[in-house]
A and B are shown apart, each in its own frame.
Chain A
């Protein structure tokens, strides 16, 4: 029942949303769809919008296809694939006027689901699957593959691309290929026999992907930890950070097995809780092994005490914070950038931490690897501020690269020879004036270099002290060290050669995708903004200069309380009147439309 066609043909520019029931194998079918578009050379962005549940609740998978290469979310659904009766009413309503609603027509559609301004594509998915397969699980799984076949016909996905993918996916289990292809063809055939195809919204092969890859941020972080030389991972499972260690385990088991003995050049321990996980990380780093943990949400809060110890007693620590929607348990499977202040000032007392803000899987890889060097150079925790959107969704990303000449920078570590030549070792002496002292790793030298690491106040030679002047001297040195960090962390990225506007915009992390698009949309309306993407905290001179040289600065972030803006006000003393927040905090990745509207209405 095609009521009304979309008048305009749109090539490679639409949004498809799949409404599934979680635990029914839809992820694999939906991934097949996305990967096919990617392999046709077309920029594509999938988002999982999933429940905090294992089986039986509504889950959505949203795919944006953008010839222009816009990789953020876009509002409005052009075609909805609805195979979940639970969410059908909401799903029908979310289709754009003139859009399409593909549903399982094995049973008739109730009147409440009928809109007269959208097009219906009824395919008897269940019936087709039940007739073709006898096994109950297969019937469920292939129902999903049938709709992928239907979409292939409707959008003109190249069939051999899908076939190749299935061949790779089931390598070694070849007998599964044929029934999958059969299911795809059933979908294709049904469309060809019953509908006008292709739809006005459709795909055409392009060469816009080049050597890019389609990868999730958590996978890239895990690889960054492998390449960065991490040997000890301690963790406790929590969504959305769990897969960081899952992938670290997977790659370590492939890449870190000692060839002669078959034993492991790594240790991964699932701790009893995050208090222990971060404690293990401190212990391992203290003892000279590169170690990290990954966590999220409430468990991030648990780690604060140890982070304070690490900062004050100057122990290298790498923590990957895959942010999710807070506060408290919040929405565990939704995204947010709302741990910024928690991370920057984690723990009691005057404590500050170095933060990194990756904005792509490639940066997840680079920054995770870099964080081990940075943490060792600074002898302090480095917290990688990624989020659920970046971590758990696949993103088109430049490939991961590694320079084989690169050596791990262990920072100021004294070896036995250096200790031998030293008259007296002072663990907390500021020898170089940069606030960073020299450290020793246990068992380096028989008689020199040993000291007690402690969270209590101590003098330059690591002896316990309650002397106010000595305490204050140490605190001042730590502040000096934090100032040194400004020069060691990655500089912001600027999107213009030189500033051309009195208005600037700041965005970071996963807001980058939508923000870049919004800046272009605004420029098309003659609203020009200078843009800066900070990659780290503490903020360096370039950051300060950018803020100082604009009359108004928009700060885009994904939390309610403008945490990043607060950080700027606290650390730089920026006048809050010149800062305008653009805040998205509904748990969904921020969209370009949202940013565009907020900035446009502010400036007009």
Chain B
């Protein structure tokens, strides 16, 4: 693990439309193990925000507890972060989002934090279609407490100490689709080309964007017999499609063979340009998406890429009809009904 970061930056480092270079989107130095998949995801988040020209202070990054939940310190130094309690990031994110609908909410969690202690909150934040990106850095084990199996460890997989997992695993992507998530994707920490556009698309999606990222634990779960190791994932990855994310008002430049490209237009006009590989899969059809994930699992494959997208997502604020102004910006004039009204109310109790 590194303990100092070089401050040297190439003078010709490209700038985005806001005039920032990518290092403006970085965080403090990671304290995770060298080679941890999570660090690659942190880098992908920074890169996605850089490419999307996001103002970092307009992002709120939230997490629970665990290795993955430490990462919000390692990207977007100019964003407020909230490293909350184990399994409860969804509720904190919900409250934060209710307070100010104008920010981008990025939740980072792990497989323990989401699929075990946090399962209840995960399920309900999905149902409410909270406008956020929810990334699970999924390594199938508990890193911080030295490698115990998590609920996403595959049945029959072997961890570093030779222990075989006896229990069924929870497939978070299938679950998210089942529960009504409006954007579901799956990726691999080692596949930056796929992960960055997925994060960008998720951030542009007006609703709950779930990205399950297989992120190998180099210390406790990167051994032969593990189904969450670098080697295993690389061998068993199967993409739904290769694709680009095209933000609103950008010219579509990528060229694909005619007939194989499908454009999915998001609410704000941004476009996800899919080059489909998976057969019999319709990303706009929940059942089709669930089948595609399920079939891949049955073949011991990990289906990655965008899995499902609801094109007409209505987020929590739309559903409960909150005002367009952020609630945290309302003042006494809008909030306090005043003494005359209170007199009327008193009269009702006489």
Contact = CB atoms under 8 A, between A and B. Distances in A.
Interface stretch (A71-79, A257-265, A376-384, A500-508): A257-265
Given A231-B327, A263-B323, A283 B82 contact: yes
A288 B80 contact: no
A281 B92 CA distance: 7
B79 interface: yes
B339 A404 contact: yes
Contacts of B60: 287, 442-443
A443 B103 contact: yes
A538 interface: no
A288 to B, nearest CB: 4
Interface size range on B against A: 35 or more
A276 B121 contact: yes
Given A402-B338, A443-B80, A447-B78, A267 B320 contact: yes
B98, B120, B317, B320: which has the most chain A beta carbons within 10 Å? Answer: B98
A227 B339 CA distance: 9
Nearest to B69: A454
Contact of B72 (A288, A452, A456): A452
B3 interface: no
Interface in B173-193: none
A554 interface: no
A137 interface: no
A407 B332 contact: yes
Contact of B99 (A264, A283, A451): A283
Contacts of B72: 452
A287 B95 contact: yes
A213 B350 CA distance: 5
A305 B117 CA distance: 13
B47 to A, nearest CB: 19
A381 to B, nearest CB: 14
B321 A265 contact: no
A286 B83 CA distance: 12
A442 B103 contact: yes
Interface in A443-497: 443-447, 450-456, 463-464
A456 B82 CA distance: 11
B328 interface: yes
B85 interface: yes
Given A267-B320, A267-B322, A452-B81, A400 B57 contact: no
A226 interface: yes
A399 B346 contact: yes
Interface residues of A, number: 71
A582 interface: no
A289 interface: yes
Contacts of A408: 332
A223 interface: yes
Nearest to A403: B339
A564 interface: no
26 contacts: A214-B349, A234-B94, A256-B335, A263-B321, A278-B91, A279-B91, A280-B91, A281-B95, A282-B84, A284-B327, A285-B99, A286-B92, A287-B95, A287-B100, A289-B328, A309-B84, A401-B342, A402-B339, A403-B339, A404-B338, A441-B328, A442-B57, A445-B57, A450-B56, A452-B82, A454-B83
Given A289-B98, A447-B57, 13 more contacts: A234-B94, A234-B95, A261-B324, A265-B330, A272-B123, A282-B84, A287-B328, A288-B100, A404-B338, A447-B78, A450-B77, A452-B83, A455-B83
Top 10 closest pairs, chain A to chain B, by CB:
A283-B95, A279-B91, A289-B99, A280-B95, A452-B81, A288-B328, A442-B80, A287-B99, A284-B95, A213-B349
Interface of B: 28, 55-58, 60, 62, 72-73, 77-85, 88, 90-100, 102-103, 120-121, 123-124, 128, 317, 320-324, 326-328, 330, 332, 334-339, 341-343, 345-346, 349-350
